C-alpha cells in the first residue's frame, strides 16, 4: 500500500540577504513583510526532513505542483533532479535511489531571476514573478504492486440529451495484474460500471446512457481502479466540444461564451501562493456574473480545474508564451511542446478545459510565429484531439496588402485582444471591430480581452463601465462571433505594473480590487446578459 506524505513544513532561507524563517507550503517570498525580501529575485532555498520506512521493493516519487521557475532538488545532499523551462507545470522525480530508511533531508533551490530559456520568457509577461514552491509538494512511496497513475480518455459515439454513450479508455501504470474498475456517479455515489480486467496496457470500457457534463449540469463521474492492496481515484465528465458552422458546439449545441479573465496571485497577503479559498471566491465572482468561460494566461493547479469541473466553468488553459520573443525560435517550440505534454498529462481528465492556448500577443504577422502556431496546433491535436487549440492575437485588426495573414487565423477560433482607441490606435472603433471580424471569414471569432488599464488610460471605473456598455452590443451583433472575455475581473499584481510598490505593484485593470472587493463596473458586467 502506498505511503503518501504531504510535505508542508520547510525551513526557508535567502542566503545573500541572511534571511531565514520556517514556512508552510504553498509559499512565495515575494509577499513577505520584509521589503528587501519582497523585491528579491534570485536563488532561495527550501529544506525539510522526511521519515521513510523500509524501501525494499519500493519506488519513491517526489511530486511538485510547480516551482517558480527553475528548481534543483537534492535528497540527502545528492542532486536528484532539475526542472527548468516552465514555472507553472507540475513535475515528478523518481528519488528512490537517493533515499534511505529513516530520516531524509530534501532540499530545493528555486530561482525566479529573469531567464531567456523558458516560457514565460525573461520578464516579457504581465503578471507577478513570485518565486518559490507556490503549490504543494508530495512524496509518494509505492510498493511494486501499487497503482502508480491512471490516464483517462474517452470518445462519445452517441448523444441523446442529456445522456451519452461511447467508450472510456483507461491507461493504468502498474505491474501486470488484475484490477477492479468501478465508475460511480459523483453526486449519488451510485455505481454505474463495475468490471475486472487484467491490466497490461490500455483497457477500453464501453458505456451507455451516462449523464453529459455541461455548464448547467456539470455531471461528474468517479473512476476507481482497485487491487486487494491499493486503489487510485480520478474524476472526469463526459462532453464533446467542436467547431461547426462557425460556432462552438458543446455536446452538439451552439454555445455563446460570455467570459471574464481572473488574474490569480493578486492578493497582496498571498501572491502566487494564494489559498484555494481565495481562488474560489474569485472564481465564484465569475460564475455570479453569468460567465461560462475564462482563460488562464499560465497553467493552474488541478484544484482550480476541480472547481471549474464542479461548477460548469469552461476554460482555455494557455502556455505562458506572452509578448516576446516576437518571432518564435526552435527553443520556444521545444519548451512549448514540453509544457503541452505536462498540460495534457495532468489536466486532460478535466471536462472544464475545452481549449488549449499556444501563445498570446506575439508577432502574429511573422512567418516564424505562424509556423510556430501551426506546429503547436498539430502537436496538441496529436496528443489530445478532443479539445480546441487557439492562438490569441493583438494584431488581427491590422492588415496591409503585404500582411493579411495572422496567427489567430490558424487556430480553431480566431481570438483577438481588442483595445481599439486604447493600446491600439483607432479612429473608428465600431467600424474597425466589424472589419476585423469580417477578416475571419467563415471561422468563429472571439474577443479575448477588452477593458481599461489605469493609470495608463484615464477615466477610472466609470470609463470601464462605458467600455462594457459600448463594446458588448457590437460584439453580440456580429454573426460568427462566439463570445467575449472581459479583462479583467480583478486589479492584478504584476512586475510591470504602473501603480504601487513591492508586493502591491499592480495594474488597475479590474472590476474588483486586489482583495476581490467589487467595484461598480462589476455589477454592470454581471447584469449584462
**pLDDT in the model for residue 485:** 98
Which band of pLDDT confidence, cut at 50, 70 and 90, is reported for residue 398? confident
Q: Where are the domains of the chain?
A: 3-143, 149-228+230-242
Contacts of 214 (CB under 8 A, 6+ apart): 239, 250, 251, 312
Please determine, for residue 400, whether its predicted confidence score (pLDDT) is greater than 70. no
187-191, 195-199, 309-313: which has the minimum mean pLDDT?
A: 195-199
pLDDT tens for residues 448-495? 999 999 999 999 999 999 999 999 999 999 999 999 999 999 999 999
pLDDT confidence of residue 378: 98
Indicate the range of 178-192, 400-414, 468-482 predicted with least confidence.
400-414
Residue closest to 308 by CA, chosen among 266, 345, 347, 252: 347
Residue 402 has pLDDT above 70, yes or no: no
Judge if pTM exceeds 0.95. Answer: yes
Q: What is the pLDDT of residue 201?
A: 84
CA–CA distance, 241 with 337 (Å, rounded to integer): 23
Calculate what percentage of the chain has a pLDDT beyond 90: 95
Confidence bin at 244 (pLDDT 50/70/90): very high
The region that residue 260 occupies, defined by phi over 0 for left and psi between -120 and 50 for alpha, beta otherwise, is beta
Please write the tens of the pLDDT for every residue from 6-30: 999 999 999 999 999 999 999 999 9
Range 179-185 average pLDDT = 97
CATH number of 3-143: 2.60.120.260
What is the C-alpha separation between 276 and 265, in angstroms, rounded?
Answer: 11
Span 498-516, average pLDDT: 97
* pLDDT average, residue stretch 164-192: 96
pLDDT digits (tens, 9 = 90+) for 27-36: 999 999 999 9
Give the CATH number of domain 149-228+230-242; options: 3.40.50.1220, 2.60.40.10, 3.40.50.300, 1.20.1250.20.
Answer: 2.60.40.10
Is there a contact between 321 and 336 (Cβ–Cβ < 8 Å)?
A: yes
Three state DSSP letters for 159-173: EECCEEEEEEEEEEE
Q: How far apart are the first and last CA of the chain?
A: 52
Quick: pLDDT tens for 89-137.
Answer: 999 999 999 999 999 999 999 999 999 999 999 999 999 999 999 999 9
For 209-230, the pLDDT digits (tens) are 999 999 999 999 999 999 999 9
SS3 category, 368: helix
Do 143 and 173 touch, CB atoms closer than 8 A? no
Query: Which has more pLDDT, 325 or 402?
Result: 325
Going by pLDDT thresholds of 50, 70 and 90, the confidence category of residue 399 is: confident
DSSP codes of every residue in 88-153: SS-EEEE-GGG--SEEEEEEEEEE-S--SSSBS-TT-SSS----B--S-EEEEEEETTS--EEEEE
Checking if the pLDDT of 401 tops 60, the result is no
Long-range contacts of 234-237 (CB under 8 A, 24+ apart): 234/150, 234/152, 234/349, 235/186, 235/306, 235/309, 235/349, 236/152, 236/154, 236/349, 236/350, 236/351, 237/212, 237/213, 237/309, 237/351
Confidence (pLDDT) at 199:
87
> pLDDT band at 200, cuts 50/70/90?
confident
Could you tell me which residues come within 8 angstroms of residue 277 by beta carbon, excluding any fewer than 6 positions away? none
Q: Do the bridges between strand 414-417 and strand 388-393 make them parallel or antiparallel, or are there none, so unpaired?
A: parallel
CB atoms within 10 A of CB 510: 31
Tell me the pLDDT tens digit for each residue of 40-95: 999 999 999 999 988 889 999 999 999 999 999 999 999 999 999 999 999 999 99
Please provide the average confidence, as pLDDT, over all residues in the chain.
96
Where residue 529 falls among pLDDT bands split at 50, 70, 90?
Answer: confident
In DSSP terms, which residues pair with 226 in a beta bridge?
A: 180, 231
The region, left, alpha or beta by phi > 0 then psi within -120 to 50, assigned to residue 502 is left
Strand runs labelled E in 361-504: 388-393, 414-417, 445-449, 481-487, 492-493
pLDDT digits (tens, 9 = 90+) for 148-174: 999 999 999 999 999 999 999 999 999
Taking residues 179-201, what's their average pLDDT? 95
Amino acid at each position: 500500500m502506498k505511503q503518501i506524505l504531504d510535505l508542508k513544513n520547510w525551513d526557508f532561507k535567502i542566503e545573500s540577504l541572511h534571511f531565514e524563517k520556517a514556512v508552510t507550503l504553498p509559499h512565495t517570498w515575494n509577499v513577505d513583510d520584509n521589503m528587501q525580501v519582497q523585491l528579491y529575485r534570485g536563488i532561495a532555498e527550501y529544506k525539510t526532513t522526511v521519515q521513510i520506512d523500509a524501501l525494499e521493493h519500493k519506488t519513491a516519487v517526489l511530486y511538485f505542483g510547480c516551482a517558480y521557475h527553475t528548481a534543483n532538488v537534492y535528497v540527502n545532499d545528492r542532486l536528484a533532479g532539475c526542472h527548468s523551462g516552465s514555472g507553472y507545470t507540475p513535475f515528478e522525480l523518481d528519488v528512490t535511489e537517493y533515499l534511505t530508511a529513516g530520516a531524509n533531508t530534501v532540499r530545493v533551490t528555486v530561482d525566479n531571476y529573469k531567464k531567456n530559456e523558458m516560457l514565460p520568457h525573461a520578464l516579457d509577461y504581465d503578471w507577478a514573478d513570485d518565486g518559490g514552491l507556490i503549490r504543494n509538494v508530495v512524496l509518494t512511496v509505492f510498493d511494486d504492486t501499487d497503482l502508480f497513475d491512471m490516464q483517462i480518455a474517452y470518445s462519445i459515439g452517441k448523444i441523446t440529451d442529456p445522456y451519452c454513450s461511447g467508450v472510456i479508455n483507461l491507461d493504468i501504470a502498474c505491474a501486470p495484474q488484475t484490477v477492479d474498475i468501478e465508475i460511480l456517479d459523483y453526486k449519488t455515489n451510485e455505481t454505474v460500471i463495475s468490471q475486472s480486467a487484467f491490466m497490461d496496457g490500455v483497457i477500453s470500457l464501453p458505456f451507455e446512457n451516462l449523464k453529459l457534463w455541461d455548464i448547467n449540469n456539470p455531471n461528474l463521474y468517479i473512476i476507481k481502479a482497485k487491487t486487494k492492496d491499493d486503489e487510485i481515484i480520478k474524476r472526469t465528465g463526459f462532453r464533446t466540444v467542436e467547431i461547426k458552422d462557425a460556432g462552438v458546439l458543446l455536446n452538439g449545441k451552439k454555445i455563446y461564451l460570455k467570459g471574464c479573465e481572473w488574474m490569480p496571485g493578486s492578493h497582496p497577503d498571498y501572491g502566487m501562493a494564494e489559498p484555494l479559498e481565495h481562488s474560489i471566491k474569485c472564481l465564484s465572482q465569475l460564475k455570479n456574473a453569468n460567465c461560462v468561460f475564462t482563460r488562464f494566461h499560465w497553467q493552474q493547479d488541478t484544484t482550480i480545474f476541480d472547481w471549474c469541473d464542479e461548477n460548469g466553468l469552461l476554460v482555455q488553459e494557455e502556455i505562458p508564451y506572452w509578448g516576446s520573443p516576437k518571432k518564435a525560435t526552435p527553443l520556444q517550440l521545444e519548451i512549448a511542446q514540453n509544457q503541452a505534454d505536462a498540460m495534457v498529462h495532468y489536466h486532460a481528465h478535466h471536462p472544464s478545459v475545452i481549449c488549449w492556448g499556444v501563445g498570446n500577443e506575439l508577432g502574429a504577422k511573422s512567418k516564424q510565429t505562424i509556423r510556430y502556431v501551426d506546429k503547436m496546433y498539430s502537436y496538441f491535436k496529436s496528443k489530445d484531439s478532443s479539445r480546441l487549440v487557439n492562438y490569441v492575437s493583438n494584431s488581427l485588426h491590422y492588415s496591409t496588402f503585404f500582411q493579411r495573414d495572422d496567427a489567430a487565423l490558424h487556430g480553431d477560433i480566431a481570438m483577438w485582444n481588442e483595445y481599439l482607441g486604447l493600446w491600439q490606435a483607432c479612429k473608428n472603433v465600431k467600424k474597425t471591430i466589424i472589419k476585423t471580424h469580417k477578416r475571419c471569414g467563415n471561422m468563429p471569432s472571439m474577443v479575448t480581452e477588452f477593458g481599461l488599464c489605469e493609470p495608463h488610460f484615464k477615466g477610472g471605473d466609470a470609463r470601464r463601465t462605458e467600455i462594457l456598455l459600448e463594446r458588448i452590443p457590437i460584439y453580440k451583433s456580429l454573426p460568427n462571433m462566439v463570445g467575449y472575455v472581459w479583462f479583467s475581473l480583478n486589479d492584478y499584481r504584476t512586475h510591470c505594473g504602473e501603480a504601487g510598490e513591492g508586493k502591491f505593484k499592480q495594474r488597475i485593470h479590474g472590476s474588483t480590487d486586489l482583495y476581490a472587493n467589487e467595484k461598480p463596473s462589476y455589477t454592470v458586467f454581471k447584469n449584462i446578459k
